[in-house]
Chains A and B, each alone.
Chain A
Amino acid sequence: MKVGLSPRLRAAGLTVPLIAFIAVTFIAPLGTLLTRSVYDAEVAEILPRTMAVLADWDTSGTPSEAAYATIAMELLRARDERTLGRAATRINRIESGLRSVVVKTPRRLGRDVGTEPPGAETWRDALVAIDEAWGENATWRAIREAGQPFTSRHFLNAVDLETRADGSIAAMPESRRIYVPLYLRTLWVSLGVTALCLVIGYPIAHAIAHAGSRWSTTLLVLVLVPFWTSLLVRTTAWIVLLQNQGVVNDILVALGIVADDGRLAMIYNMTGTFVAMTHVLLPFMVLPLYSVMRSIPTRHMDAAASLGATPMQAFRRVYWPQTLPGVGAGSLLVFILAIGYYITPALVGGQSGQLISNMIAYHMQTSLNWGLAAALAAILLLAVIGLYVLYDRVVGIDRMRLG
C-alpha cells in the first residue's frame, strides 16, 4: 500500500475547499459588515485637506480663515467630481439641515472661482453670506466628526445613545429612541412566537410520533408540505385569509359573528406578524420534537399508569422530561430564526408589526445610511452568535438533522 498523508491530514484536507469557500463568500462579507459599522472614509477622502486643517482646530468657536478657504476649494472640486452629494449626506446625518448648506455653497460661489473669495474680503465672509450656518460652531464640529474614518457613532446610534457637544455620551431624547424599543419588540415577538410554536407543535409532534405507522406518515406529510412550500407562498396565503375582504372575515360575516362594517383587522399589524410567523416556523419546532419523541417507548407511559399515576402525572414525571432535548432544540432553532425574520413582517406586519430586520433593510434600501444598517446588523449578529453557542452547548451542532 502507498504511503500517503496521515489520516488526520487527509480528513482535514477534504473539508478545506468548503471552509475556504465559506470563508470567502460568507465570513469575509460578515467582516466587511463589521468594518462598515465602524469605518467610513468617504468624507475624509472627499475633503482631505479640510480635515488636515481642522485637525489643528481646538473645536471652540469657528476655525481659521485657512479652513474656510480650503473647504471652499474642496467643495468646488467635489461638485465637479460629483462627490458632493455623498459628503453632504454624511455631514447631514450628524447635524441635520447641513445637507442643503453644503450643496448650495459651491453653487452660490459659482464657476470660475479663483483663489480670491468672490465678492467679499475673506472666505469666511463669503461663506457666511451664503449661509449663516458657516459662522456656527456646530457646523464645523459636524464636518470634523464626519471626516473621522473610524467612528462609534453608528453603534451609539443603534442603541439610542448620542455624543453630546462636550464629548459625553448620553441617552437620546425619549422621542428619538427607536432602536432599543425595536430590539425589545423583536425579542418579545420572537419569544412569543417560540412559545406559540411550542404549545401548538408539541401535541402535533406527539400525535405524529405515537399515532401508529399508517397515520403517522400522513400526519408527517402534513407538516412537511408547509416546510417545503415557499415562504412567499405561505405569507401570501395569510394575506388571502386574513385581509379585510379575505376568507376568514367573509366566513365570520357569513356566520353573523361580526358585522359587515366591523370586519376584523387581522393583518398589516402585529397580529399578522404573529400568526404568519408562527405558521412559517412551526415545522422547525415539530421536526426536532418528533425525532426525540419517536425514540420514547410507549411502554414507559404504560408502566407509569400501571404504577397508579394519572395521565397528567405520568406525562409530567415520565414523558415531558424525556422530551426536553427536543424542546430545547426546537425552541432555540425557532427563536434564532424568528429574531432575524424579515420577509414575513415586511409583507404582513404593516407599521406596528415591523421588527429590527425591517429597520436594517430600510437603512440599506431607503435611507441609505449603510453604516447604521451595518451596526444594527452587527448587534443582531452578536445576539445570534450567542444563541448559536448556546445551541451548541444544549444540543450540539453536529447533531443537527433535517427532516
Chain B
Amino acid sequence: MTAGTAFAGRRLGRYAYVGFCACAFVFLVAPILVIVPLSFNAEPYFTFTEGMLRLDPDAWSLRWYRSIVEDEQWGRALANSMIIGVAATLIATTLGTVAALGLANPAMPGRRLAMGILISPMITPVIIVAVGVFFFYSNLGLAQTHLGLILAHAALGAPFVVITVTATLAGFDQTLMRAAASLGAGAITRFRRVQLPLIAPGVFSGGLFAFAASFDEVVVVLLMGGLDQRTIPRQMWSGIREQISPTILAVATLLIIFAVLVLFTVEWLRRRSIEAAA
C-alpha cells in the first residue's frame, strides 16, 4: 500500500466515522424533534400536511393545546402525577440521603450488600415490581389508593437518590466535619449547618431523578392504580391505545420541554457540586 492510498483510506475512514455518528445522533434526537411541529397541526393527522410544509399559517394551530386545557381528565392526571410524584420524592429523598450518609462512611459494615439491596428496585423490571406490589398492596387494602402508589414509587425512586448522594459525598471533605466538631457542634448541627449545604446540589438532583422516575412510571399505575389514580403517563397510555389524537403530541411536546428543563437543572447542579468539592 502506498502512502497515498493509505492517506485516502484514512480520510475515507474518517468520513465514514463522521457520517455514521451524524446518523446515530439524528436517530437519537430526530424522533423527539418531529413531535414538536406536528403538535401544531391544524388537522387531526400525525403527519405533515402540505399546508404545513408550505408554512401556510392556516395549517398550523394551537387547537390540541386548547383541548388539553379544556379536557379536565388531563388536569386531574397532572394533579395525580404531582401529588404522587412529590410525596414519593420527599420520602425517597429523605430516606435515601440518610442512607447515603451511612454508605459513604468508611466504617460502614457490609457496604456492598447494603448497596445491593438499596439499588435493587432500580434494576428489577418494573413489570415484576408491579405484579408483586399489586398482590401485596391488595392484601393491605392499598391497591387503587394514592398511598399505595406513593409507597411503590418511593421505593422505585430511592436508588437514584442513594447513587447520586453517595457520589456527591465521595467528594466531600470530612475534615470540615471534624473542624465543626472541634468547635463544639453536635452531630445534628454539623449535618445541618456544614454538610447539608455542601451536598445540597447532589441531594436536589437525586430528588429530581426520583421525581422523574415517578412522573414517568406507568406500569405500576397500570396494574395497581384505579380510575382515581390516573397519572399523566397513564392518560397518555390510554390515549395511544384507545383514541389516538394529536392531543397526545401536544402533551408529549410539553413533556419534552419539561425533560429539557430537568436536564439543564441537573447539569447545573452537577457543576455546582463539582465546584463546591473543588
Q: Does B40 contact A (CB under 8 A)?
A: no
| Closest residue of B by beta carbon distance from A28 | B136
Q: Is A126's CB within 8 Å of the partner chain B?
A: no
> A377 to B28, Cβ gap below 8 A?
no
A9 CB to closest chain B CB, in angstroms? 9
User: Main SS of chain B's interface residues?
Assistant: helix
In the complex with contacts A232-B240, A247-B34, A384-B125 CB distance below 8 A: yes
A positions within 8 Å CB-CB of B: 1, 4, 6-8, 10-15, 17-19, 21-23, 25-33, 36, 200-201, 203-204, 207, 219, 221-241, 243, 245-247, 250, 279, 282-283, 310-311, 336-337, 339-343, 347, 357, 360-361, 364-365, 370, 373-374, 377, 380-381, 384, 388, 391-392, 397-398, 400-403
User: Which residues of B are found within 8 Å of A28, using beta-carbon distances?
Assistant: 136
When C-beta atoms are compared, the residue in chain B nearest to A370 turns out to be B135
B1-45 contact mask (Cβ, 8 Å, vs A): 1 or 0: 000001000100100010011001101110110110010000001
Can you pick out 17 interface pairs between chain A and chain B where the beta carbons lie within 8 Å of each other? A1-B181, A11-B102, A12-B110, A18-B98, A19-B117, A21-B158, A23-B117, A26-B121, A27-B120, A232-B252, A238-B31, A339-B125, A377-B127, A384-B124, A388-B120, A392-B112, A402-B163
Instruction: Tell me how far the C-beta of B9 lies from the nearest C-beta in chain A, rounded to whole angstroms.
Output: 9
Residues of chain A with a CB closer than 8 A to B155's CB:
21-22, 25-26
B32 and A229 within 8 A (CB): yes
Expressed in whole angstroms, the minimum distance between the Cβ of B80 and any Cβ of chain A is 15
Q: Which of B61-69, B70-78, B259-267 contacts A (4 or more CB under 8 A)?
A: B259-267
Partner of B263 from A26, A225, A246, A339 at Cβ < 8 Å: A225
Q: What 0/1 readout, one digit per residue, does chain B (118-151) give for beta carbons within 8 Å of chain A?
A: 1111011111111111111101000000000001
Our pick among A207, A341, A384 for the contact of B123 (Cβ within 8 Å) is A384
Q: Tell me, in angstroms, the Cα distance from A245 to B21 when the chains sit together.
A: 28
Whole-angstrom distance from the CB of A384 to the nearest CB of chain B? 6
Closest Cβ–Cβ distance, residue A27 to chain B (whole Å): 8
Whole-angstrom distance between the Cβ of B144 and the nearest chain A Cβ: 14
B199 within 8 A of A: no
Complex partner residue of B35 from A8, A240, A340, A402, CB under 8 angstroms: A240
Q: Which one, B95, B154, B240, B260, contacts A228 given CB within 8 A?
A: B260
Q: Are B31 and A279 in contact, CB atoms less than 8 angstroms apart?
A: yes
Interface residues on B, range: 35 or more
Contacts of B223 in A (CB 8 A): 361, 364-365
Find out whether the CB atom of A22 lies under 8 angstroms from the CB atom of B158. Answer: yes
Residue of A nearest to B251 (CB): A233
Contacts of B91 in A (CB 8 A): 21
B230-245 to A contact mask, C-beta < 8 Å, 1/0: 0001001100110010
Is there contact, CB below 8 Å, between B233 and A232? yes
Most B-side CB within 10 Å, residue of A12, A33, A232, A247: A232
CA distance A207 to B98 in the complex (A): 38
Q: How far is the CB of A186 from the nearest CB of chain B, in Å? A: 11
Contact of B260 among A13, A22, A225, A391 (CB under 8 A): A225
Report yes or no: A17 in contact with B95, Cβ–Cβ below 8 A: yes
Q: Is the CB of B132 within 8 A of A377?
A: yes
- Is B227 close to A, CB under 8 A? no
Cβ–Cβ contact A403 & B132, under 8 A: no
CB nearest to A19 among chain B residues: B117
Cross-chain contact of A19 among B6, B118, B160 (Cβ < 8 A): B118
Q: Name which of A12, A17, A279 has the most chain B CB atoms within 10 A of its CB.
A: A12
**Cα-based distance from A32 to B240 in the complex (angstroms):** 32
Most-contacted residue by chain A among B111, B209, B241, B259 (CB, 10 A)? B259
Please indicate which of the listed interface residues A29, A221, A279 has the most CB atoms of chain B within 10 Å of its own CB: A29
Closest Cβ of chain A to B120, distance in Å, is: 7
Shortest CB-to-CB span from B183 to chain A, Å, is 12
The answer to whether residues A357 and B127 also contact, given A14-B102, A225-B259 and a CB cut-off of 8 A, is: yes
CB distance from B239 to the nearest CB of A (A): 9
Contacts of B101 in A (CB 8 A): 14
Contact A400 B163 (CB under 8 A): yes
Q: Flag whether B107 is at the interface (Cβ < 8 A).
A: yes
User: B135 and A29: CB pair below 8 A?
Assistant: yes
At the interface, yes or no: B268 with Cβ under 8 Å from chain A?
A: no
Q: A8-B107, A229-B255, A233-B259 are in contact. List 5 more A-B contacts (CB 8 A).
A: A222-B29, A236-B249, A246-B47, A250-B48, A337-B125
A18–B129 touching, CB < 8 Å: no
* A residues near B129, Cβ cutoff 8 Å: 26, 29-30
The answer, yes or no, to whether B177 is at the interface (CB within 8 Å) is no
Smallest CB-CB A-B distances: 10 pairs: A340-B125, A14-B102, A29-B132, A11-B105, A29-B136, A237-B31, A18-B99, A33-B132, A7-B107, A15-B102
Residues in chain B near residue A237, CB distance under 8 A: 31-32, 34-35, 252
Name the distance in Å between B108's Cβ and chain A's nearest Cβ: 4
Q: Is the CB–CB distance between A357 and B28 below 8 Å?
A: no
Closest B residue to A341 by CB, please name it.
B125
- Whether A221 pairs with B263 at a CB distance below 8 angstroms is yes
Q: Which residues of A contact B209 (CB under 8 A)?
A: 402
Contact status A340-B139, CB under 8 Å:
no
Q: Are A241 and B34 in contact (CB under 8 A)?
A: yes
Residue with the greatest number of chain B CB neighbours at <10 A, chosen from A370, A388, A403 = A403
Query: CA–CA, A63 to B136, complex, Å?
Result: 38
A241 to B37, CA, bound (A): 13
Known: A279-B27, A374-B131. A18 touches B158 (CB 8 A): yes
User: In whole angstroms, how far apart are the Cα atoms of A16 and B180 in the complex?
Assistant: 26
Closest to A21 in B: B95
Known: A232-B236, A233-B256. A340 touches B48 (CB 8 A): no
